[in-house]
Amino acid sequence: MLALSGVLRLADALNHLYVMLPVLDDAKHYWVGSDEVDKLVRAGEGWLGAHPEKDLISHRYLAHRRYLADDALERLAEADGVELVEENSDEGSVSLAVERRTAVAGVLRELGARRIADLGCGEGALVGELLKDPMIGELIATDVSARALTAAERRLHYKDLPDRQRERLRFLQSSVTYADQRLAGLDAVVLMEVIEHVDPPRLPALEASVFAHARPRAVVVTTPNAEYNVNYEGLTGMRHSDHRFEWTRAEFQDWARRVATDHGYRVSFRPVGEEHEITGAPTQMAVFEEGAA
């Protein structure tokens, strides 16, 4: 018999029970996919990201599917503003989500970018990282979803920021597939884990809006490396149900080189995350800089 005690709002207690009952049972009797990640993130927001047993809870809730648990923990950390640390059998390491935005922020520093737009900013994890850099003078966070922008403002405590910080940051509802004059002429534009959510027939529209109409001095793009997926136990398709495609390294580089040639940029590539000797890194990055190679 298990006895639990505590003082919680009824709604919070029900969220805890919703998550913990299948965790204690440790036996999901139906197919577990990315929709279960969405349910866990909704029920766990505000408490699970900082829970000392968050790894055990998420892995049990998601039927021990590592790639789903990693996704859930990253999303919970971003929603709650927690710097997630994952444990593996050998040593502690930061999550891929943290590595990814740290890598992007590092590239932007290398480029000397002072006016930056994060396109498809989601809940604002990258924007929060970039706000730490006092050398960045203007940050524009865009998303097609008004709900995502509201969540980003809340996560970043935008209304409570000092005046100088608020003046550096703007939130704009905007689509990556439509030209937006408000984004023209910036030092850098970031598409971090965005292009794979765009239907392939709409990619030419994205290319035109970013590389032709906005035409920043630099563009940083990250996307999953499909070749790495074999390293995720239990993963039989793409990493998320909303992904329209996932590219191999060759496919991504072919796309990036064509875009660079078409629009007068030069492009270089970097791995993000620990590299596997055969399948490469989990995330791939392209850095476009204005001026033909």
DSSP codes, the chain: ---------HHHHHHHHHHHHHHHHT---S---HHHHHHHHHHHTTTGGG-TTHHHHHHHHTTT-HHHHHHHHHHHHHHHT---EEE-SS-EEE-HHHHHHHHHHHHHHHHT--EEEEET-TTSHHHHHHTT-TT--EEEEEES-HHHHHHHHHHTTGGGS-HHHHHHEEEEE--TTS--GGGTT-SEEEEES-GGGS-GGGHHHHHIIIIIII--SEEEEEEEBGGGGGGSTT--S-SSTT-S--B-HHHHHHHHHHHHHHHTEEEEEEEESPPBTTTB-SEEEEEEEES--
Q: In terms of domains, do 58 and 132 share one? A: no
Q: In terms of domains, do 153 and 186 share one? A: yes
The CATH number assigned to the domain holding 103 equals: 3.40.50.150
Number of domains in the chain: 2
pLDDT at 82: 43
Residues ≥6 apart with Cβ < 8 Å to 92: 85, 86
In a domain, 266, yes or no: yes
Q: In terms of domains, do 14 and 79 share one? A: yes
pLDDT at 86: 35
pLDDT at 67: 65
Burial of 111 (0-12, 13-18, 19+ CB in 10 A): middle
pLDDT at 87: 33
In a domain, 207, yes or no: yes
Structural domain boundaries enclosing 67: 10-93
pLDDT at 15: 76
Distance, in Å, from the CA atom of 110 to the CA atom of 66, rounded to the nearest integer, reads 34
Q: In terms of domains, do 59 and 116 share one? A: no
Q: In terms of domains, do 189 and 152 share one? A: yes
Q: In terms of domains, do 137 and 248 share one? A: yes
Where the chain has pLDDT below 70, the residues are 1-4, 6, 8, 26-34, 50, 66-67, 77-94, 292-293
pLDDT at 22: 77
Q: In terms of domains, do 242 and 124 share one? A: yes
In a domain, 192, yes or no: yes
pLDDT at 11: 72
Distance, in Å, from the CA atom of 209 to the CA atom of 263, rounded to the nearest integer, reads 11
Last residue of a domain, one of 32, 65, 93: 93
Q: In terms of domains, do 110 and 243 share one? A: yes
Q: In terms of domains, do 83 and 105 share one? A: no
Q: Which two tokens stand for residue 131?
A: 């706000």
The predicted model scores a pTM of 0.76
Q: In terms of domains, do 147 and 221 share one? A: yes
pLDDT at 170: 95
